[in-house]
Amino acid sequence: MNYSEILAEIHHEITPLFGQGKVADYIPALAKMDPNKFGMAITTIDGELFTFGNTKDEFTIQSISKVFTFVKAFSGIGEKIWEHVGREPSGTSFNSLVQLEHEFGIPRNPFINAGALVITDLLISEYGDAKKEILNFLQDLSQDRSVRFDLEVAESEKQHGFRNAALANFMKSFGNIENDIESILDTYFYHCSILMNCEELAKSFLFLANNGIIPGSNKQLLTKSQAKRTNALMLSCGLYDESGEFAFRVGLPGKSGVGGAIAAIIPNKMAISVWSPELDEYGNSLIGIKALELFTTKTGMSIF
Ligand code: DON
């Protein structure tokens, strides 16, 4: 299949949508992103790469980092992870507090902020310097040692992180957080601030399309069953309260971030990343979703 032509067609069709979304503006460092950027990259498990647009530009991966932290924790502690976090869609916004009180401080899933904070806590208990561990993991996956934290974004998030602080404190009051709040928030904001480009992001997701194994290596990051579960979680919870709509329109497991990127996988075939900073009302890339919808429609490839 000539994916390059399809990517060019997609770009043509999404162009009228520029201006319909809004770049994240809760911190100045994100508000200054160029809304007109668009990049899309496909990496196949056979080692092919197809790109279109601004695929070498860096952006902060934000909540997409929650997939990597979850993978790291799941591979390390296995089934015990479910004592701390659930695996149900929340149907609420990514930073919502409302369900936590009724559900005794156990977040619905690892991809809402509450769940990701619990995962960060588990990683600190497991590794001590979890920040370094997460960054190394992403440098290995992307095969790029220049993958790094955006210090301005991380520090700015810290200055405005009142809701995340509330979530972490609330969960600590239920006994679902072990380490001190400050180090959890610091690690969480830093892993959200990791800078990558579309090509690196697609490459880093490829093991999820390949039963947990990095293609071309014998490196098994997750068991086949764990990879299946991670993908199921992305499908049901990866785009927060827009996950149902994403499954309906795109039909792939995927994860979004407020930096404007979405990464998705087609099992046994490929990983796809798309970046367009304007967000919809749920905090997901408006054009990114459309681009992925066009991709699965044009190619006839989805998990359904
Ligand atoms: O916790 C936050 O507010 C951000 N650093 C990450 C949120 C995010 O990416 C939500 N996804 N769409």
List the helix and strand counts (H, then E) for the chain. 13, 10
Q: What is the DSSP string of 91-104?
A: -S-TT--HHHHHTT
Q: What is the pLDDT of residues 248-299, one digit of tens each?
A: 999 999 999 999 999 999 999 999 999 999 999 999 999 999 999 999 999 9
Mean pLDDT of 163-191: 98
* pLDDT confidence of residue 2: 85
The 10 Å Cβ neighbour count of residue 245 is 15
What pLDDT is recorded for position 157? 96
Q: Which residue from 27, 113, 167, 279 has its CB within 8 A of the most atoms of ligand 1, so it is best to mutate?
A: 113
DSSP assignment of 222-239, as one string? S-HHHHHHHHHHHHHHTT
Residue 164: per-residue pLDDT: 98
Question: 107 pLDDT exceeds 90?
Answer: yes
| Residue 68, pLDDT above cutoff 90 | yes
Which of the following is catalytic: 63, 204, 243, 256?
63
pLDDT tens per residue, range 212-255: 999 999 899 999 999 999 999 999 999 999 999 999 999 999 99
State whether the beta carbon of 192 lies less than 6 angstroms from ligand 1: yes
Q: How far is the CA of 233 from the centre of ligand 1 (A)?
A: 17
33 in Cβ contact with 279 (< 8 Å) = no
Per-residue pLDDT at 82 exceeds 90: yes
Active site residue 282: no
Please state whether the predicted TM-score (pTM) of the whole model is above 0.95.
Answer: yes
pLDDT of residue 25: 94
| 33 SS3 class | coil
Q: In what order do the strands lie in the sheet with 194-196?
A: 59-60, 194-196, 148-149
CA distance 160 to 148: 21
292: Cβ below 6 Å to ligand 1?
Answer: no
Catalytic residue among 131, 258, 273, 276: 258
User: What mean pLDDT value characterizes the chain?
Assistant: 97
CA distances 247 to 86, 91, 244, 252, 293, Å, are: 20, 14, 5, 6, 10
